Amino acid sequence: MSAPKPISQRAWWLVLPVLVSVAFSAVIPLMTVVNYSVQDILGPSQSVFVGWEWYKEVLRDAELHGALYRQIGFSAAVLAIQVPLGVALGLSMPTQGWRASLVLVLLALPLLIPWNVVGTIWQIFARDDIGLLGYVLTQLGVDYNYAQDPTDAWVTVLIMDVWHWTPLVALLAYAGLQSIAPAYYQAARIDGASRWSIFRHIELPKIRGVLLIAVLLRFMDSFMIYTEPFVLTGGGPGTATTFLSQYLTQKAVGQFDLGPAAAFSLVYFLIILLLCFVLYNFIKDVGTRDAVGDVAGSRA
């Protein structure tokens, strides 16, 4: 990048409002959870310190392991489909005129629907008697019933998530592609570069930053998915679509096991944190040696 930023500890004052607000809305609740996780809560004013007990219980919980594996599989599938598809869409979107605006607005529509409504729409959209998707599939001779078949349910939740969130990746990729200076494309044309090598050596390094945002956002949000499968399948059939958040909520609200639920919450949070950290550092360095120049350089 350009010249190093000046060092100023007074910048802390500018960050202070954010610190205070986030401390209020995140740190205090998180401390409450930590507090619960080491106690056995017997009543509103009765509790016993139990130390690591709940953590041990949570880490040995076979149902939790099941939910964790399902969750990892789901998030991996989400990333494997949505990131390439989103980038392909970003490359395909018109860049100018009314068509660009229209495509942008239409594409973003699924992002604007409240999450429970997303579940409700798909609940009926996928029904084989009165829903468009289920009806068409059944007419085509596909044996499809998301309410009874575990595989169908899992695939339906995945397709729903692709429908719901690929637009976010597409918008980010599109934003990244728009910021590439035309000079790069001209240089590539003079060199007679193929479409693939333009993508590989110019576009991909340039949109690495936005792709990192996209991958992290999609990873964390898919890892925390709750409302949509809850409405669509209720976690079933069986436990086919019971992901971590749903299992956690069942424990905390359904069985009212505050201690174990709090311990589980913290373990859950740490897993996300760890995986985000790994992804962040992995993507941050991927392809850096191919970068033709940095964004700041091209803009100056």
- Determine the Cα–Cα distance for residues 14 and 22; give it in Å rounded to an integer: 14
Residue closer to other proteins by CB (options 158, 210) is 210
Residue closer to other proteins by CB (options 39, 265) is 265
Q: Minimum Å distance from CB 249 to other proteins? A: 5
Q: Minimum Å distance from CB 39 to other proteins? A: 13
Residue closer to other proteins by CB (options 4, 238) is 4
Q: Minimum Å distance from CB 114 to other proteins? A: 4
Q: Minimum Å distance from CB 92 to other proteins? A: 4
Q: Minimum Å distance from CB 184 to other proteins? A: 13
Task: Identify whether 237 is preceded by a cis peptide bond (ω within 30 of 0).
Answer: yes
DSSP per-residue codes, 73-114? HHHHHHHHHHHHHHHHHHHHS--SHHHHHHHHHHHHGGGGS-
**Two tokens at 148?**
């009874």
Please say whether the beta carbons of 55 and 37 come within 8 A. Answer: yes
Residue closer to other proteins by CB (options 240, 251) is 251
Residue closer to other proteins by CB (options 126, 240) is 126
Quote the strand ranges of 88-231, DSSP E.
Answer: none
C-alpha distances out from residue 133 to 114, 116, 121, 204, Å: 21, 19, 11, 35
* Furthest C-alpha separation in the chain: 76
Q: For residue 45, count other CB atoms closer than 10 A to its CB.
A: 6
- Determine the Cα–Cα distance for residues 36 and 21; give it in Å rounded to an integer: 23
Residue closer to other proteins by CB (options 48, 111) is 111
**Two tokens at 142?**
């596909």
Q: Minimum Å distance from CB 56 to other proteins? A: 20
Q: Minimum Å distance from CB 276 to other proteins? A: 6
- Determine the Cα–Cα distance for residues 17 and 269; give it in Å rounded to an integer: 24
Residue closer to other proteins by CB (options 101, 148) is 101
Q: Minimum Å distance from CB 168 to other proteins? A: 9
Q: How far apart are the first and last CA of the chain?
A: 11
What is the total residue count of the chain? 300
Q: For residue 239, count other CB atoms closer than 10 A to its CB.
A: 15
Residue closer to other proteins by CB (options 59, 108) is 108
